[in-house]
Chain A
Amino acid sequence: MARELLKGNVAFAEAAIRAGCEAYFGYPITPQTEALEHMAVRMPELGRTFVQAESEVAAINMVYGAAAAGVRTMTSSSSPGVSLMMEGLSYMAGSEVPAVVVDVMRGGPGLGNIAPAQSDYTQMVKGGGHGDYRQIVLAPASVQELIDHTVLAFDLADRYRIVSVVLADGSLGQMMEGAELPAMRPPRAADASPAWALSGAKERDTNLISSIHLDPDEEERFNHHLQAKYAAIEAAEIRHEEHLLDDASIAVVAFGTAARLVKTAIAGERAAGVAVGLFRPITLWPFPTDALRDLSERVEAILVVEMNMGQMLEDVQRVVAERCPVGFFGRTGGVMPMPEEIAARIRALATQLGAAVSDAPEEVRT
């Protein structure tokens, strides 16, 4: 496949199709509607299911139903729409059905606006719906990763019978970038339905997909089963990127779009002699706890940069504990932190640490 100029929303929709998505249910909301539009055209073309539901509540419950039937399924939305899906996501966790959700985050709370934000971190990483549950959360930082993470999200969802979330933001959804789509996977055979799925119980025992366990002891046992599964995911599926950290005295921790803004800031600061690098969690859950703890023993200070008021910051503080100081810089409400202002925070930290810094940084950007 050749690299082509692709808009993020179209790219992840097409990637989902090529990853074998058999049914898409959604409701339009800016800034992700192009995904729904793409699905509306492509899915019927391929003889697959596309439904524009009457609301996000309906859409997620259609996903729940399709997933219970063993169908590869997904939805996509943006922050206010995703909030409406929380009950469904909790039920799906409680029923252990696999599905993919793409959240193209926008400014909030409430109706907010349509500009890029990262303020659904806590909602998606910590729960959002009720109960002790987890979902795998992937944080792409480019259109290519938006594609790759969507494919990975389907595979992880199937492997662990879990909901996988691709946590993007309005800028990733709206921007165009050179990227390569994967080859189209052949459709699953009609009899390839998972053994647990509600695929018709002729000549076999019945399956039950449910999140109800009226007996507290039984519910507790089920929760322990979930926790064991989550531990297995934490042991096998953590992903992160380290950029220019080998000799760094300052590490910036950022995910998604914030991380690529940080990379530009870092290029400028490196040119001015500041030993700064980037630690980028790619899976927000499972969180790269061990790698970050190791890092906090090597660097003198950490700066967390987010497009929210410090949601991942809480996880970084928990992991780093008192090993090194943790600073924070965030813009919120749909405002993106400009590389120049991130660079100023890095510079201030470097000066505080007494690093030798040249006065006139070259105008470098990547």
Chain B
Amino acid sequence: MTFDLIIAGFGGQGVLFAGQLLAHAALDAGLETTWYPSYGPEMRGGTANCTVVISDAPIGSPITERPQAAIVMNLPSLVRYEPLVRPGGVLVVNTSLIDRAVERVDIDAIAIPADDVAAELGNPKLTNMVLLGALLARTSALTTAQVGATLERVLPARHHHLLGANHAALARGAELATEAAARNATPTA
């Protein structure tokens, strides 16, 4: 099993942290993992992305041209990564900030209004966790329970009062993704 994912958005949306959390969770699950960030001038107020690879075997390349999944948190990221997701792969789209529909029909496109969901949950910073929850529901690499447990381990103690909200965000994202997938599977009249 080898799974690769790109998470992309604006700097400040929690793109890098979401990827790190996934990598930590993979390591906790006894798997191999790499986390590779975009780094440099483009991070300051511009776009940020990271690539996470998870495998049960030693990992060669930490980068990928055709990821099996992508989470896109803003429009430039959708434009860049929609064409690259492998056929049959998963594309999680933050529709709160992206008003263009996914054009490809050969991928599992999951629309989640993540900023709105995060606001409903009481903290706009939960957007990344909502989207991560959605991704986990549509892929088999790791479960939301595994990632939730890892979050408890890696989150500094001073932030532990936020754990409940983060767990709720992961769960809500997963729930919405399952609903979205069911809608996708039902042909519209």
Contacts and interface: CB of A to CB of B under 8 A. Distances in A.
B57 A366 contact: yes
A174 B27 contact: no
Given A365-B61, A366-B55, 16 more contacts: A31-B39, A114-B40, A115-B40, A171-B62, A174-B39, A175-B35, A176-B36, A260-B59, A260-B62, A263-B61, A338-B65, A340-B65, A340-B66, A363-B86, A365-B64, A366-B2
Interface string A241-283: 0000000000000000000111111110000000000000000
B60 A264 contact: yes
A131 B167 CA distance: 62
Contacts of A185: none
Interface string A166-188: 00001100111110000000000
Contacts of A365: 2, 4, 60-61, 64
- Where chain A touches its partner, the secondary structure class is mixed
Given A5-B20, A114-B40, A176-B20, A366 B65 contact: no
A178 B40 contact: no
B61 A261 contact: yes
A30 B39 contact: yes
27 contacts: A3-B27, A4-B27, A5-B24, A5-B33, A30-B39, A31-B39, A31-B40, A114-B39, A174-B39, A175-B37, A177-B33, A177-B35, A177-B62, A178-B33, A261-B60, A261-B61, A263-B60, A266-B60, A336-B63, A338-B65, A339-B60, A339-B61, A340-B65, A365-B2, A365-B61, A366-B58, A366-B59
Contact of B60 (A3, A260, A363): A260
Interface of B: 2, 4, 20, 23-24, 27, 32-37, 39-41, 55, 57-66, 86
Nearest to A261: B61
A30 B40 contact: yes
Interface centre among A114, A174, A261 (most CB of B within 10 A): A174
A248 B85 CA distance: 32
A31 B39 CA distance: 8
Nearest to B33: A178
Contacts of B59: 177, 260, 366
A365 B41 CA distance: 31
Interface residues of A, number: 30
Nearest to A175: B36
Nearest 7 A/B pairs, CB to CB:
A264-B60, A263-B60, A264-B61, A176-B35, A175-B36, A178-B27, A338-B65
Given A5-B23, A366-B2, A178 B61 contact: no
Contacts of A113: 40
A9 to B, nearest CB: 11
A177 B34 contact: yes
A175 B60 contact: no
Contact of B34 (A3, A115, A175): A175
Interface in A322-356: 336, 338-340
Contacts of B65: 338-340
A338 B84 CA distance: 14
Contacts of A265: 60
A176 B34 contact: yes
Contact of B37 (A174, A338, A366): A174
Nearest to B36: A175
B23 A174 contact: no
A340 B32 CA distance: 21
A362 B2 CA distance: 13
A171 B2 contact: no
B60 to A, nearest CB: 3
Contact of B23 (A31, A176, A266, A338): A176
Nearest to A7: B35
A174 B39 CA distance: 8
B35 A5 contact: yes
Nearest to B20: A176
A127 to B, nearest CB: 30
Interface string A119-153: 00000000000000000000000000000000000
Interface string A287-317: 0000000000000000000000000000000
